[in-house]
Amino acid sequence: MLSLILPTYNEALNLPELLPKIRSVLSQVPHEIIIVDDDSPDHTWKVAQELAEKLGDVHVIRRIGRRGLSSAVIEGFLAAKGDVLAVMDADGQHDTGLLAKLHDAVRKHGGIAIGSRYIEGGSVGEWDERRYMLSRIATKMALSLCAVKAKDPMSGFFALDRNVFEEVLPRLNPKGFKILLDLLVHVPKSTSVTELPFTFATRRHGESKLSRRVQLEFLEYLYDVSIGNWIPLTFVKYCIVGGLGVGVHLTAYLFFSAFLAHGLPLSLMGFSLALLGAIETAIIFNFWLNNVWTFAYAKLQGFAIIPGFLTYNFACAFGALANYAVSTYLYSHGLGEIVSVIIGACAGIIWNYTMSRMFAWKNA
């Protein structure tokens, strides 16, 4: 059986047109279609459920509080019954006529069969020069990390043997955007790869998902599976946020110290109060940026932000204490106030990172 996964987000207008085409080309192939929707605002999940009631081979997974293409595909694969697993976009840009050939290629050769835009007979269709150039650059970067090479490792249209998926599953990165690339990075080098040409079509309805955020996630993925094996990406991002936080901390200190001094030399008490105000200002800034960027895949939302922020403050308490102790010690022993503030701010970063992972974003 072929299990076809359609990861969706805001594809309500495309599904009614796409599903009949898929069912037509797979009429001679035992199959199931699994739509995995990330709780789309346009109610794609509802449209899918209505279609599934009429079509016996369609199943729907509506994900609440979870988002991401790779994780959606993995969840669909785990729910699938077939011995051949496939994935394609739901926007009409992939050639449904190739599905049966991808299925046959996996049944015959095993491994992975890819719908490729970059082999003879394939095409990127109506892409402009800028998008084509970015895609080729990304492809070359991706190939340097692949255990098994392919002309189009960034394709979102492919099929694979279930045994290959189950073997590589523990090593997959659900945070990635290109699940095929993740597979090619982690599969054994002996894995067979077959590429079949297709022309990338124009999206029928809706907007492209190729945003700046997706491009950034791709670069983060490349880091994650290379240097990230030694220095975790979250730690690097946390340090970047911490560095920006030092700037916020210093700016806030200058503001509070100017307010408390009123043009007079700052006393040790005034220095301490300005420092405490700066520390809390930096904690608020760091919490916000870490939540929306560093730990975006475990982002706290709604009312969960309040206990999360309180937990983050508690987790950072000892880091803040170290910050305060180092800064006041250096200042009281004659070191300049700005240098004292900066050194103290840097002292708590590693502690705060460890505590944040353990308490505030423990699911990250």
Task: Please check whether residue 117 lies inside any domain of the structure.
Answer: yes
> pLDDT for 293-348, tens place per residue?
888 777 788 888 888 888 888 777 777 777 778 888 888 887 877 788 777 777 76
Query: 263 and 355: one domain?
Result: yes
Task: For residue 225, tell me if it sits in a domain.
Answer: no
Domain end position, chosen among 172, 207, 242: 207
Give the pLDDT score at 160. Answer: 96
Q: Are residues 285 and 166 in the same domain?
A: no
The total of structural domains in the chain comes to 2
117 closest CA partner among 108, 109, 126: 126
pLDDT value at residue 15:
92
Could you tell me if residue 293 is inside a domain? Answer: yes
CA separation for the pair 141, 144 (Å, rounded): 6
Please indicate, yes or no, whether residues 182 and 289 belong to a single structural domain of this protein.
Answer: no
- 249 in the same domain as 200: no
Residue 223 forms part of a structural domain = no
Q: Per DSSP, what are the bridge partners of residue 4?
A: 33, 86
251 and 117 inside one domain: no
> Does a structural domain hold residue 212?
no
**Which CATH number covers residue 202?**
3.90.550.10
- Residue 114 pLDDT > 60: yes
Give residue-wise pLDDT tens across range 243-300.
Answer: 888 889 889 988 888 877 665 555 667 777 888 888 889 889 989 998 888 887 777 8
Q: Are 260 and 252 contacting, i.e. CB atoms less than 8 angstroms apart?
A: no
This prediction's pTM: 0.72
Q: How far is CA 146 from CA 17, 150, 298, in A?
A: 35, 9, 27
3-class DSSP assignment, residue 327:
helix
State the pLDDT at residue 247: 87
Say whether pLDDT at 212 is over 70.
no
Q: Residue 291: what pLDDT?
A: 87
Taking the CA atoms of 321, 324, 326 and 329 in sequence, report the sign of the dihedral they define: negative
Out of 173, 207, 241, a domain closes at: 207
Query: Which of 154, 172, 207 finishes a domain?
Result: 207
State residue 359's pLDDT score: 61
153 and 31 within one domain: yes
φ, ψ for residue 183 (rounded to 5)? Answer: -65, -45
Which has the closest alpha carbon to 261: 279, 274, 251?
A: 274
Domain of residue 201 covers 2-207
Residue 226 maps to a domain? no
Report pLDDT for 2.
96
Question: What's the sign of the alpha-carbon dihedral 229, 79, 161, 203?
Answer: negative
β-partners of residue 59 are 34
Does a structural domain hold residue 87?
Answer: yes
Question: Do residue 178 and residue 307 come from a single domain?
Answer: no
pLDDT over 90 (residue 131): no
Alpha-helical regions (H) of 144-265: 162-168, 179-186, 212-224, 233-261
Are 73 and 196 members of one domain?
A: yes
Q: For residues 302 and 264, state if they share a domain.
A: yes
- Provide the sign of the torsion angle of the four alpha carbons 144, 148, 150, 156, taken in this order: negative
Q: Is position 216 within any domain?
A: no
Give 203's pLDDT tier (boundaries 50, 70, 90). Answer: low
Residues 202 and 239 in one domain: no
Same-domain status, 328 and 188: no
Same domain membership, residue 126 and residue 8: yes
CB 32 within 8 A of CB 81: yes
